Amino acid sequence: MSERNLLTRLKDQLLQPKIDEQLLQDAITQARQQQPVPVLWLLGKTQSGKTSLIRTLTGSPDADIGNGFRPCTRTARFYDFPADVPVVRFLDTRGLGEVAYDPTDDIRYCEEHAHLVVAVMRVSDPGQQAVTDVLHAVRKRHPDWPVVIVQTCLHQCHGLDWQHPQPYPFHAPATLPNDDLARALQSQRERLGRLPGNAGVWWVAVDFTLEDDGFDDPRYGADALWQAVEEASAFGLRALLEADPAIQDAYSRAAHPHILSYSLAAAGLGALPVVDMAGVPAIQLKLFHTLASIYAVPWDKRNTTEFFGLLGAGISIGYGLQMAGRNLVKLIPVWGQTAGAVWGATSSAATTFALGKAACYYLTRKRKGQTVDDVQLRQVFTDALRRGREVASHQAPPDESQLHEPQ
């Protein structure tokens, strides 16, 4: 193959804003075999606050969550976030406490798939026997499973004029204030009693409300919930779902978990020694389209050309080689060592992370109608590449000791 024909093929591969959906799905399937998705089992009655909990952890609107649930048994359902390449799955057992509902099949399914049990109890609802019965039964069968119990809707014990006590006082019974809310919280804890087994039980009181409800903190107790989830598991889930605290832009915050989810998928794919390397750029190209949807900026041929042109020849040629596949790399071993031509797990993840962050900078400028600074774009890519390596090197699949194997 002549150099001219090779460059033409590279350009066509690089600038063609299309995705082979089957290739993408095969790549994601292979990646997920390398990188298990942590599964949180939300155990609670209807209207207990499970959707608000998902919204707070993921930052997704209620409407998106409602449309994102899919059935997994007759009444149980799951919610993947992000939907295309998830970093976390929520299992929801519906119907607990309802008349003529036998949760046996749902519970068996959830036990076979869950990595962490999160029980959700609305504090103003004393009728939690169905939930406590399931918790006791599950811990009898799995005494080493940690459990996080989230008590929700604190304001319902006081009314709309109530303001959240500061600093957060609900870490332990000894710190609870002496009022109706404290008594309701303590009553639920006492009714559960001691669960079988020796694994930890974390109690968290939260009050997740909407902005229009008028409370001082719509995410009250979120930090305590995150602390409990991180202590009870080995997922590192908060780092996957929340952007850096310094990031204030709503678009960047929304983009962050998608960037990480595709980066981890690329890591899983890059770890496979015989996989078709076109799978990694397929994941990256899908990420570009996802980010463009978030920013409401088209990821078309014109923007693709400009983006990689501004990034510079070294990165663009390397990325083009990935798109062209492993055979072309064999033909040109020197180019195969450029910044974009990386096949290992860590480097695949780091490059995907860096491309995602660079795309966010590019799309932000385009959305505002501003000129994209090529020097700044390359700096964003370089900084993100370094951070992406750190994320990939420290982010491993969930600890096997924390995973619930099928029975």
pLDDT tens profile 228-273: 999 998 777 777 777 665 555 778 888 888 888 888 777 766 555 4
CA distance 404 to 99: 30
Tokens (6 digits) for 315: 């990165």
Of the candidates 154, 114, 157, 152, the residue with the CA atom closest to the CA atom of residue 134: 114
Instruction: Summarize pLDDT for 321-343 with one digit per residue, the tens.
Output: 454 444 444 344 433 333 333 44
Instruction: Summarize pLDDT for 180-190 with one digit per residue, the tens.
Output: 888 888 889 89
Output the pLDDT for position 203.
94
Write down the domain spans for the chain.
3-32+242-400, 39-232
The confidence band for 179, taking pLDDT boundaries of 50, 70 and 90, is confident
The number of helix segments (H) and strand segments (E) in the chain equals 16, 9
Which fold would CATH assign to domain 39-232?
Answer: Rossmann fold (3.40.50)
> Is 46 a residue whose pLDDT tops 90?
no
Residues above pLDDT 70, as percent of the chain: 71
Instruction: Summarize pLDDT for 116-161 with one digit per residue, the tens.
Output: 899 999 998 988 998 998 899 889 988 989 999 999 998 888 766 7
Decide if 153 contacts 123 (C-beta within 8 A).
yes
> Is 14 a residue whose pLDDT tops 60?
no
Query: In sequence order, what DSSP letters do the residues of 344-397 get, joined into one string?
Result: SHHHHHHHHHHHHHHHHHHHHHHHTTPPPPHHHHHHHHHHHHHHHHHHHHH--S
Backbone φ/ψ region at 146: left (φ over 0), alpha (ψ -120 to 50), beta: beta
> Is 405 a residue whose pLDDT tops 80?
no
Better-scored residue on pLDDT, 102 or 277: 102
Q: Taking the complete model, does pTM exceed 0.75, yes or no?
A: no
> Is 1 a residue whose pLDDT tops 50?
no
Decide if 321 contacts 340 (C-beta within 8 A).
yes
Output the pLDDT for position 329.
42
Better-scored residue on pLDDT, 286 or 318: 286
Output the pLDDT for position 358.
93
Which residues 6+ apart lie within 8 Å of 118 measured at CB? 40, 41, 42, 43, 53, 147, 148, 149, 150, 229
Which letter, b or e, does each residue of 298-324 get, where b requires 16 or more Cβ atoms within 10 Å of its Cβ?
ebeeebbeebbebbeeebbbbbbbbbb
